A = this chain, B = another copy of it.
């Protein structure tokens, strides 16, 4: 995956895949083994495992192996990164509408 300029890159890229989003959703209901998860998707286990690894590499999921079973658990906190970015965008946008507001109510306020 090259290397991300920010963690958000990886998190968003990880979520930009329907299989991986489905896994996140499924794990929202509680931990599950790789095998149980995989059974719900139309692809081979090795292919599926790559998705799990991607999610793990980007901190969206934690996995532990006990015996021959690897269990996956959602790391909800990670989604906050996305939330935060969205919130920032909203702030940027609001700062702008504020400027427009001021411009309308008091035209000479404009600068730059």
Contact = CB atoms under 8 A, between A and B. Distances in A.
Contact of A29 (B76, B83, B92): B92
Copies in the complex: 2
Interface string A25-41: 10011100000000000
A89 B25 contact: yes
A85 B30 contact: no
A17 interface: yes
Interface residues of A, number: 30
A12 interface: yes
A29 B89 contact: no
Contacts of A88: 25
A88 B96 CA distance: 29
Contacts of A17: 9
Nearest to A29: B96
Given A25-B88, A29-B92, 18 more contacts: A5-B18, A8-B16, A9-B16, A10-B16, A12-B12, A12-B13, A12-B15, A12-B16, A16-B16, A25-B89, A25-B92, A28-B89, A28-B93, A28-B96, A74-B93, A79-B89, A82-B86, A86-B86
